[in-house]
Chains A and B, each alone.
Chain A
Amino acid sequence: MDFADAAFWVALMQIIGVNIVLSGDNAVVIALAARSLPPQQQKAAVMWGSGAAVIMRIVLTIIAVEMLKWPYLKLIGAVLLLWIAVKLLIPEDENEDGITASGSMAAAIKTILIADLVMSLDNVIAVAAAAKGSLTLLILGLAISIPLVIFGSTLLLKLMDRYPIIITVGAALLGWVAGEMAITDPLVKDWVNANAAWLHYAAPAAGALFVVLLGRTLAARASQEHKAVVDLASGDRQP
């Protein structure tokens, strides 16, 4: 795969799409965790948080490239990606409690580091899947995700406020690359190429379809449970 190849540009587009979705959440977590700090500490928290995310991404990418050569791991990665993608489409559950960070610098950094680890891992799996073994693409993918993590939170939140469809498209894209990755696992690759070349289109399409249908169904079920509008300003002093 090189610059003259159409497949290269398709894969690059996929990587950008994946990054917008899976780096955006990381950026937002860093920004929101830092918001509770005093202004003079906010910058430091964002800097440390983004720096850690970048380092984790680089390390995890190197590990991922090696590991994806082993049999089974692409299949496992594909299932993981499908799961990540479906969860993107399910709105947040009000009853579920996350880690509550207090206002201290240490607590904020801890929250950011946990988020960095989880979210970088997801991002690296997805980017590795989309890069299809090309080192150029992997490095490009990494390079694109870094500014998104550092500077992207406000931009990405605005973008998704305006065009919520981005998340659905992003989730479908994850399903697509999951399908692509599954059929290139060393375990099944030769069989697919010899007997079922049509799977090169059918598996990604099925992955995308699976994610959108399941995600939509679960989201619809979740929104049925949700009833009254919660007024966040109810505790404010009214004029």
Chain B
Amino acid sequence: MVKMLMPVDGSESAVSAVAHMINKLEWFKDGVEIHLLNVQNPMPYGNRVSSVLGHDKVKQYHHEEGLAALQPARAKLDAAGIKYVFHIGVGPAAETIVQYAREKGCDQIVMGTRGMGSTANLLLGSVATKVIHLADVPVLLLK
């Protein structure tokens, strides 16, 4: 069974990557265990917001925003009747994706090339570029 990490951010690119992967699941003979991951950027302003509101409020915010970002990808998988688990992390996007893959022993990272982040160059988004650099498992990028 291939343990596949699919980072998504709610962008069109991420959703179409998930949709594409759904069609290609027969590539993997022993089946696939899909882990959707949304990474939320840490709250800016240092701890100025959390020191007033408390960490729970900030966490709750990240949780709500994370669920919203996961929703389009989840809808695709639900519609196709494919089982998956979903996760929400907080941190710098690429670093957190790679770290999560390492911690959970994922065999492969599959993601779209252009998310919501700022653009590193014409062809690849900055997160995808960074994930390729940092990852120690194969990375499949879908255009």
Contact = CB atoms under 8 A, between A and B. Distances in A.
A194 interface: no
Given A229-B89, A232-B63, A238-B86, A88 B118 contact: no
A111 B60 CA distance: 16
A59 interface: no
B88 interface: yes
Contacts of B117: 162
B45 A21 contact: yes
B53 A97 contact: no
A236 B74 CA distance: 14
Contact of B103 (A21, A91, A228): A228
A29 interface: yes
A47 interface: no
A233 B47 contact: no
Contacts of B45: 21, 24-25, 28, 88, 167
Interface stretch (A3-11, A32-40, A182-190, A197-205): A32-40
Interface string A38-65: 0000000000000000000000000000
B54 A100 contact: yes
A35 B61 contact: yes
Interface in B35-85: 40-63, 66-67, 70, 74, 77-78, 83-85
Contacts of A94: 55
Contacts of B58: 32, 92
A83 to B, nearest CB: 11
A229 B103 contact: yes
A229 B48 contact: no
A232 B100 contact: no
B48 A119 contact: yes
A13 interface: no
Interface residues of A, number: 46
Given A231-B88, A232-B66, A233-B63, A87 B53 contact: no
B116 interface: yes
Contact of B48 (A35, A88, A234): A88
Contact of A230 (B43, B56, B90): B90
A157 B40 CA distance: 12
Contacts of B43: 28, 92
Contacts of A161: 41, 44, 116
Which of B47, B74, B103 has the most chain A CB atoms closer than 10 A to its own CB?
Answer: B47
B79 to A, nearest CB: 12
B87 interface: yes
A32 B83 contact: no
A232 B59 contact: yes
A29 to B, nearest CB: 5
A99 B44 contact: no
Nearest to B78: A239
Nearest to B86: A233
7 contacts: A28-B49, A92-B55, A101-B53, A101-B54, A118-B52, A233-B67, A233-B86
Given A32-B49, A118-B52, 13 more contacts: A24-B45, A25-B45, A36-B57, A90-B47, A92-B47, A92-B55, A93-B47, A96-B50, A98-B54, A98-B55, A114-B52, A167-B44, A233-B86
The 8 A-B pairs with the shortest beta carbon distances in the complex, nearest first, are: A98-B54, A92-B47, A25-B45, A232-B88, A160-B44, A100-B54, A233-B88, A115-B52
